[in-house]
């Protein structure tokens, strides 16, 4: 029956990890805006491409995209 | 603007020929009228839209037009901002920037123009348009964009100009600067998420431990398992009770200290009883405690709160006058002109105020001809004329040519801001409002505590060992979980339902206040009548298309509001004729030569004095200073345009003579919003109505007819008068709803039990209020009122349902018969029933009130004006 104790504490440890992950996610602002990411998901070509180090270095315009 | 020089080659010269009038603009989707541009086979309504199109496609952002059809915003409207140079001012930046160092700076701009997925995409690809701009993140629900940029490569003013040139003009008002950099709200939101997360974590794990007990399996594993489950359960429940339920403890403490019984008191009492009982049972080895019910209860309560917390981030319900002021004005200096932030204005500064700009502080006119539109501040519908040396109060909007003024008072001490010193603004909103929920919970708490005491006393004599258990059981079972869920869920559902119809509530409790309203006070200018549009009707021999074109060309030359209305009424469909000469005489009218014809447009008296008066009917010109004759034109009663529904006494008129012969006159009327005519008869029977207008009494008869004989109608009301009128009504025991729009109603909106701000477009400025209503949705007001009554009834029914549960539970508990199993089943069951009941019934009520109309009604005039399907109530 002591295996039961082991299992209980193992499950609690795993659950605590997930709780910690959740707390981290909230703290890092992932729950601040629950609306825009759902729209962003539908867009390809992530806007962050071409930004390195948070320092703006915009890429060359992509001429192939020019169509209406 | 700045975008033009950002390396966009406009190699394709626009084709001058006009587009087919029915084609929508490729960029913004507006109908292409005169002045539109065809480029290859693409139609644009204006040069501005075409420029944005070529800017985007030239930089590889053509995908913008694939994401949504006609996603753009019409460019080229008059902006309220005199350039963006003030943004580079160090003191302004200090308040505006989220952070800044030598190579990186981050700014969050409020862009009310954001409306679709393509906007998000475009603004997040801003770095492609301008070197130096880095990552930008859009928050759609708040309508903001956080832009990182390199201050050595690009200036903040250039970014603002770039964004504005795309059609997303940043909303920068004086209020923006005063804000405490917006970090507060996310912290508060994050806490709520964390609280729910911790409660969910506790609930799930405790449930795992408790399940064997429900099924009777724990006996197989021996008594040590019960002890382990009990202690672990307590350990898991502790953070839930302390952290997740922290707000309930605090709220209960506050309400006890203020000696009012809110619903938080029985909740806190129940939680304490459950936790205390659990600790007692586990520590004495009598049982496993109620940690499962406890954590589950808190988890459900928090979920209900999360559901109710639907706030409309992009709408500000608490704005003061600062939100009305622009951030900058043009100051004249010895060397020239500079753009200066209003916060940096000093007394004695010389300012240049152009057409449609706001006078930021009480000032004296130095030069130019001031025609000041105070409609937003005082409710007067006609602009007033001021001469050189006269005082102009802050908050007025200049109409016409540019003027120069000299400030005589600081911005914060101006006439406009004095209203905010009134005591009505000192107290927080609706702090003393006792809602239906409060009343029920007070009764509930008294009954519960009474029953618990009685049963404890009874068992003390019958079987003393059971007394404590019975006392605790009553408190546990009666813990108003269902009660606490019924109101938030019903009101939250109702609030969402209303929001989908462009009726935005400050919070869900507003519905309860709305249900108790028994008097409605209305503002006139801007609320019942629309301030900017007016119908110009022609009286006289019909005008030919050629004549219309000529008069339209003349009128277009003037910035006078009446002239603008006339040119709008004539429209651009008539071919424009070149105006050869043009002369405007202040207070009289304008004269000019169009296509060889001498045209006079102006007041009757002026036309008479110019020798064309022979044909003018006898007039009693009232000597009003405004041009052309505004105010009384009583002398031409009966000469009004045929079929016009209202008496002509409320008209302004502009008389026209061509080549010395009188042709006729335009009647200009402050148009009643089309929706109002549908609304008022519906409200008239049900609520006492009151009209408070800052305007003069010339439209008395017209509104008397509309509002009925019992209604109270008062004109010439100052903002303070309005506030006092509402205060007097409240003193007489009335629950007052105020419907207004401008700053002149701000005090009344604040004082009223429910303040409804009517706005042309959601997202534009509105004074502090409880409800923000799009003008097109005004006829829905009657339905909203009916709906609120029904929602309140649903809440009451929810209370009864949960009350029945509690009655059953309490009677079992008081009898000392309650087993943990029954408790564990009864509690979630009652919650689920109440949840389903509340949401289901509210949806059904909403469906019955509003009918099966499409959920999304945009602010367009078409469709929205259609009255709801039948009267909601019989």
DSSP characters over B680-708: HHHHHTTS-EEEE-SS-GGGHHHHHHHH-
- The closest of B671, B608, B672 to B635, measured between CA atoms, is B608
Instruction: Using CB atoms, pick whichever of B139, B193, B221 lies closest to residue A31.
Output: B193
User: Do B560 and B400 meet the contact criterion of CB atoms below 8 Å apart?
Assistant: yes
Q: For B667-688, how does the pLDDT look when each residue is reduced to its tens digit (9 = 90+)? A: 766 667 777 777 787 787 788 8
Q: Give the Cα-Cα-Cα angle B235, B241, B245 (nearest 5 degrees).
A: 155
Please determine, for residue B873, whether its predicted confidence score (pLDDT) is greater than 60: no
pLDDT of residue B383: 74
Question: Inter-chain contact B153–A56, Cβ cutoff 8 Å?
Answer: yes
A13, A23, A33: which to substitute to probe chain B, counting the most B Cβ within 10 Å? A33
Please determine, for residue A47, whether its predicted confidence score (pLDDT) is greater than 60: no
Question: Inter-chain contact B141–A33, Cβ cutoff 8 Å?
Answer: yes
The structure tokens 């319900």 sit at B317
Please spell the DSSP secondary structure of B576-644, one letter per residue: P--EEEEEEETTTEEEEEETTEEEEEE-HHHHIIIIIGGGSPP------SSSS--S--GGGTT-SPTT-
pLDDT level of residue B196 (50, 70, 90 thresholds)? very high
Q: Which pair of structure tokens corresponds to residue B429?
A: 């909103």
Can you tell me the distance from the alpha carbon of B196 to that of B575, in angstroms, rounded to the nearest whole number?
Answer: 66
Please determine, for residue B506, whether its predicted confidence score (pLDDT) is greater than 50: yes
Q: Is B27 or B135 the better-scoring residue by pLDDT?
A: B135
Q: For B46-57, how does the pLDDT look when each residue is reduced to its tens digit (9 = 90+)? A: 777 777 787 787
Can you tell me the distance from the alpha carbon of B130 to that of B165, in angstroms, rounded to the nearest whole number?
Answer: 13
pLDDT of residue A52: 41
**Residue partners of B771: CB distance under 8 A and separation at least 6:** B503, B504, B505, B506, B510, B514, B754, B755, B756, B757
Q: Percent of chain B beyond pLDDT 90?
A: 4
pLDDT of residue B234: 93
Q: Which residues of B touch A5 (CB under 8 A)?
A: 228
Q: Percent of chain B beyond pLDDT 70?
A: 73
pLDDT of residue B83: 66
pLDDT of residue B22: 60
- The closest of B478, B490, B437, B491 to B835, measured between CA atoms, is B490
**Residue partners of B841: CB distance under 8 A and separation at least 6:** B490, B794, B797, B798
Q: Is B653 or B13 the better-scoring residue by pLDDT?
A: B653
Q: What is the mean pLDDT of residues B13-31?
A: 59
Of the listed ranges A51-55, B417-421, B463-467, B784-788, the least confidently predicted one is A51-55
CA B308 to chain centre: 19
Q: For B399-412, how does the pLDDT look when each residue is reduced to its tens digit (9 = 90+)? A: 777 788 888 887 77
Of the listed ranges B246-260, B494-508, B718-732, B786-800, the least confidently predicted one is B494-508
Question: Inter-chain contact B127–A55, Cβ cutoff 8 Å?
Answer: no
Can you tell me the distance from the alpha carbon of B693 to that of B630, in angstroms, rounded to the nearest whole number?
Answer: 18
Can you tell me the distance from the alpha carbon of B436 to that of B447, in angstroms, rounded to the nearest whole number?
Answer: 17
Instruction: Please state whether the predicted TM-score (pTM) of the whole model is above 0.80.
Output: no
Q: Is A2 or B36 the better-scoring residue by pLDDT?
A: A2
Closest chain B residue by Cα to residue A12: B205
Mean pLDDT is highest, among B191-205, B545-559, B615-629, for B191-205
pLDDT of residue B862: 32
Question: Inter-chain contact B120–A59, Cβ cutoff 8 Å?
Answer: no
Q: Which pair of structure tokens corresponds to residue B591?
A: 């004269």
Q: What is the dihedral of CA B495, B500, B505, B508, to 10 degrees?
A: 10
Mean pLDDT is highest, among B249-263, B322-336, B637-651, for B249-263
Of the listed ranges B291-295, B382-386, B446-450, B547-551, the least confidently predicted one is B382-386
CA-to-CA dists, residue B200 to B372, B481, B820, angstroms: 59, 16, 21
pLDDT level of residue A24 (50, 70, 90 thresholds)? very high
Please determine, for residue B565, whether its predicted confidence score (pLDDT) is greater than 90: no
**Residue partners of B438: CB distance under 8 A and separation at least 6:** B260, B261, B262, B263
pLDDT level of residue A58 (50, 70, 90 thresholds)? very low
**Residue partners of B586: CB distance under 8 A and separation at least 6:** B369, B385, B627
| Distance from the first to the final alpha carbon of chain B | 57
Closest chain A residue by Cα to residue B139: A36
Mean pLDDT is highest, among B377-391, B428-442, B568-582, for B377-391
User: Do B390 and B419 meet the contact criterion of CB atoms below 8 Å apart?
Assistant: no
Q: Is B723 or B487 the better-scoring residue by pLDDT?
A: B723
Please determine, for residue B82, whether its predicted confidence score (pLDDT) is greater than 60: no
pLDDT of residue B535: 64
Can you tell me the distance from the alpha carbon of B178 to that of B174, in angstroms, rounded to the nearest whole number?
Answer: 7
pLDDT of residue B821: 63
DSSP B400: S
Can you tell me the distance from the alpha carbon of B570 to that of B554, in angstroms, rounded to the nearest whole number?
Answer: 11
Q: β-pairing, B370-373 with B397-398?
A: antiparallel
pLDDT level of residue B616 (50, 70, 90 thresholds)? very low
Element (H, E) at B140: none
B205, B224, B239: which to substitute to probe chain A, counting the most A Cβ within 10 Å? B205
Q: Which residues of B touch A41 (CB under 8 A)?
A: none
pLDDT of residue B241: 93
Q: Which residues of B touch A62 (CB under 8 A)?
A: 60
φ, ψ (nearest 5 deg) of residue B756: -110, 115
Q: State the smallest CA–CA distance between residue B630 and chain A in angstroms.
A: 50
Please determine, for residue B8, whether its predicted confidence score (pLDDT) is greater than 50: no
pLDDT of residue A62: 44
Share the mean pLDDT of chain B. 73
pLDDT level of residue B43 (50, 70, 90 thresholds)? confident
φ, ψ (nearest 5 deg) of residue B131: -65, 140
Please determine, for residue A59, whether its predicted confidence score (pLDDT) is greater than 60: no
pLDDT level of residue B859 (50, 70, 90 thresholds)? very low
B52, B127, B230, B291: which to substitute to probe chain A, counting the most A Cβ within 10 Å? B127
Report, at the CATH architecture level, how domain B2-172 is classified: 2-Layer Sandwich (3.30)
Please determine, for residue B246, whether its predicted confidence score (pLDDT) is greater than 80: yes
User: Do B734 and B518 meet the contact criterion of CB atoms below 8 Å apart?
Assistant: yes
Of the listed ranges B456-460, B737-741, B814-818, B859-863, the least confidently predicted one is B859-863
Q: Which pair of structure tokens corresponds to residue B199?
A: 């409660």
Window B:194-233, CB contacts with A under 8 Å: 194, 197-198, 201, 204-205, 208-209, 221-222, 225, 228, 232
User: Do B49 and B28 meet the contact criterion of CB atoms below 8 Å apart?
Assistant: yes
Can you tell me the distance from the alpha carbon of B253 to that of B259, in angstroms, rounded to the nearest whole number?
Answer: 10
Closest chain B residue by Cα to residue A10: B205
Residue range B321-422 in CATH 3.30.70.260: no
pLDDT of residue B74: 66
Q: For B139-159, how does the pLDDT look when each residue is reduced to its tens digit (9 = 90+)? A: 887 788 888 888 888 888 888
Report domain B530-672's class: alpha beta
pLDDT of residue B324: 65
Question: Inter-chain contact A56–B132, Cβ cutoff 8 Å?
Answer: yes
Q: What is the mean pLDDT of residues A2-27?
A: 91
pLDDT level of residue B447 (50, 70, 90 thresholds)? confident
pLDDT of residue B854: 42
Looking from the CA of A5 toward its CB, the CA atoms found within 13 Å total: 10
ipTM: 0.71
Q: State the smallest CA–CA distance between residue B142 and chain A in angstroms.
A: 9
Can you tell me the distance from the alpha carbon of B187 to that of B185, in angstroms, rounded to the nearest whole number?
Answer: 5
CA B293 to chain centre: 41
pLDDT level of residue A16 (50, 70, 90 thresholds)? very high
B9, B62, B63, B162: which to substitute to probe chain A, counting the most A Cβ within 10 Å? B63
Can you tell me the distance from the alpha carbon of B282 to that of B280, in angstroms, rounded to the nearest whole number?
Answer: 6
- Please report how the helices B561-570 and B545-556 are oriented relative to each other, as an axis angle in degrees rounded to 10: 150
Mean pLDDT is highest, among B515-519, B537-541, B624-628, B696-700, for B515-519
Which pairs with CB-CB distance under 8 Å and at least 24 residues apart come from B177-185? B177/B92, B177/B95, B177/B96, B177/B327, B177/B341, B177/B343, B178/B322, B181/B98, B182/B108, B185/B313
- A→B interface, C-beta within 8 Å: 1, 4-5, 8, 11-12, 15-16, 18-19, 22-23, 26-27, 29, 31-36, 39-40, 42-43, 45, 47-48, 50-51, 54-56, 58-59, 61-68
Q: Which pair of structure tokens corresponds to residue B734?
A: 């009335």
Q: What is the mean pLDDT of residues B559-571?
A: 72
Domain ranges of chain B: 2-172, 186-312+440-488+790-850, 321-422, 530-672
pLDDT of residue B137: 86
Q: What is the dihedral of CA B503, B504, B506, B511, to 10 degrees?
A: 30
Q: What is the mean pLDDT of residues B25-34?
A: 70
Please determine, for residue B651, whether its predicted confidence score (pLDDT) is greater than 70: no
């Amino acid at each position: 029956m002591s295996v039961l104790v082991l299992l209980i504490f193992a499950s609690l440890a795993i659950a605590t990890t997930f709780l910690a992950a959740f707390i981290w996610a909230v703290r890092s602002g992932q729950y601040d805006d629950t609306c825009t990411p759902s729209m962003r998901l539908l867009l390809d070509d992530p806007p962050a491409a071409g930004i390195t180090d948070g320092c703006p270095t915009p890429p060359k315009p992509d001429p192939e995209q020019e169509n209406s | 603007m700045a975008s033009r020089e950002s390396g966009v080659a406009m190699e394709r010269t626009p084709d001058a020929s006009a587009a087919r009038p029915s084609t929508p603009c490729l960029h913004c989707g507006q109908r292409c009228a005169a002045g539109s541009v065809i480029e290859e086979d693409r139609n644009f309504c204006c040069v501005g839209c075409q420029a944005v199109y070529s800017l985007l496609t030239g930089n590889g952002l053509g995908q913008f037009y694939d994401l949504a059809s006609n996603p753009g915003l019409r460019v080229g409207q008059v902006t309220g901002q005199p350039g963006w140079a003030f943004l580079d001012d160090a003191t302004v930046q200090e308040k505006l920037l989220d952070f800044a160092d030598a190579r990186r700076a981050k700014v969050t701009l409020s862009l009310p123009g954001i409306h679709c997925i393509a906007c998000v995409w475009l603004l997040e690809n801003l770095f492609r348009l301008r070197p130096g701009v880095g990552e930008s993140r859009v928050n759609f629900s708040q309508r903001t964009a956080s832009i990182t940029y390199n201050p050595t490569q690009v200036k903040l003013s250039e970014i603002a100009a770039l964004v504005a040139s795309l059609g997303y003009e940043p909303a920068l008002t004086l209020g923006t600067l005063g804000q405490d950099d917006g970090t507060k709200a996310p912290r508060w939101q994050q806490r709520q998420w964390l609280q729910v997360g911790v409660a969910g974590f506790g609930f799930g794990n405790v449930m795992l431990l408790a399940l064997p007990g429900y099924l009777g399996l724990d006996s197989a594993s021996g008594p040590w398992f019960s002890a382990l489950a009990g202690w672990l359960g307590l350990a898991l429940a502790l953070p839930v009770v302390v952290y997740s339920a922290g707000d309930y403890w605090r709220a209960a403490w506050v309400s006890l200290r203020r000696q009012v019984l809110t619903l938080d008191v029985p909740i806190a009492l129940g939680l304490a009883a459950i936790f205390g009982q659990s600790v007692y049972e586990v520590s004495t080895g009598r049982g496993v405690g109620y940690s499962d019910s406890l954590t589950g209860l808190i988890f459900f309560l928090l979920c209900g709160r999360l559901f109710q917390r639907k706030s409309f981030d992009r709408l500000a319900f608490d704005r003061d006058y600062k939100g009305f002021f622009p951030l900058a004005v043009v100051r004249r200096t010895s060397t020239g002109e500079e753009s200066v932030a209003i916060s940096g204005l000093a007394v004695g500064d010389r300012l240049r105020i152009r057409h449609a700009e706001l006078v930021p502080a009480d000032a004296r006119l130095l030069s130019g001809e001031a025609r000041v539109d105070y409609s937003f501040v005082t409710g007067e519908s006609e602009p007033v004329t001021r001469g050189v040396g006269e005082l102009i109060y802050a908050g007025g909007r200049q109409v016409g040519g540019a003027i120069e003024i000299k400030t005589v008072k600081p911005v914060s001490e101006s006439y406009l801001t004095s209203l905010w010193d009134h005591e009505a603004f000192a107290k927080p909103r609706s702090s003393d409002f006792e809602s239906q929920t409060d009343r029920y919970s007070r009764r509930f708490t008294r009954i519960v505590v009474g029953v618990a005491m009685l049963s404890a006393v009874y068992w003390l004599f019958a079987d003393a060992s059971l007394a404590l258990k019975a006392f605790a059981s009553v408190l546990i079972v009666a813990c108003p979980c269902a009660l606490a869920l019924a109101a938030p869920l019903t009101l939250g559902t109702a609030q969402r339902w209303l929001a989908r119809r462009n009726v935005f509530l400050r919070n869900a409790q507003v519905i309860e206040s709305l249900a108790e309203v028994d008097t409605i006070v209305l503002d006139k200018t801007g609320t019942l009548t629309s301030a900017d549009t007016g119908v110009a009707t022609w009286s006289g021999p019909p005008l030919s298309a050629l004549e219309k074109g000529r008069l339209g060309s003349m009128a277009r030359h003037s910035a006078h509001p009446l002239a603008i209305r006339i040119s709008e009424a004539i429209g651009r469909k008539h071919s424009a004729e070149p105006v050869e000469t043009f002369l405007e005489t202040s207070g009289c009218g304008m004269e000019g030569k169009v296509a060889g014809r001498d045209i006079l447009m102006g007041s009757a008296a002026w036309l008479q004095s110019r020798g064309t008066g022979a044909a003018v009917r006898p007039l009693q010109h009232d000597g009003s200073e405004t041009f052309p004759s505004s105010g009384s034109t009583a002398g031409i009663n009966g000469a009004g345009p045929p079929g016009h529904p209202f008496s002509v006494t409320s008209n302004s008129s502009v008389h026209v003579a061509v080549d010395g012969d009188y042709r006729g006159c335009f009647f200009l009327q402050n148009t009643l919003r089309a929706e109002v005519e549908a609304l008022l008869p519906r409200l008239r029977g049900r609520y006492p109505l009151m009209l408070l207008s800052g305007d003069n009494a010339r439209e008395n008869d017209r509104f008397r007819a509309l509002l009925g004989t019992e209604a109270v109608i008062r004109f010439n009301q100052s903002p303070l008068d309005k506030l006092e009128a509402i205060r007097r009504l409240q003193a007489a025991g009335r629950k007052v709803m105020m419907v207004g729009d401008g700053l002149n109603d701000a005090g009344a909106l604040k004082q009223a039990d429910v303040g409804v701000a009517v706005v042309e477009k959601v997202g534009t400025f509105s004074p502090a209020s409880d409800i923000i209503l799009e003008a097109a949705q005004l006829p829905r007001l009657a339905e909203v009122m009916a709906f609120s009554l029904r929602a309140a009834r649903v809440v009451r029914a929810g209370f009864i349902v949960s009350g029945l549960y509690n009655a059953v539970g309490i009677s079992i508990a008081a009898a000392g018969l309650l087993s943990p199993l029954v408790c564990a089943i009864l509690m979630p069951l009652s919650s689920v029933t109440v949840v389903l009941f509340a949401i289901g019934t509210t949806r059904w009520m909403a469906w019955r009130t509003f009918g099966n109309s499409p959920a999304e009604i945009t602010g367009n005039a078409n469709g929205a004006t259609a009255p709801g399907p039948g009267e909601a109530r019989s």
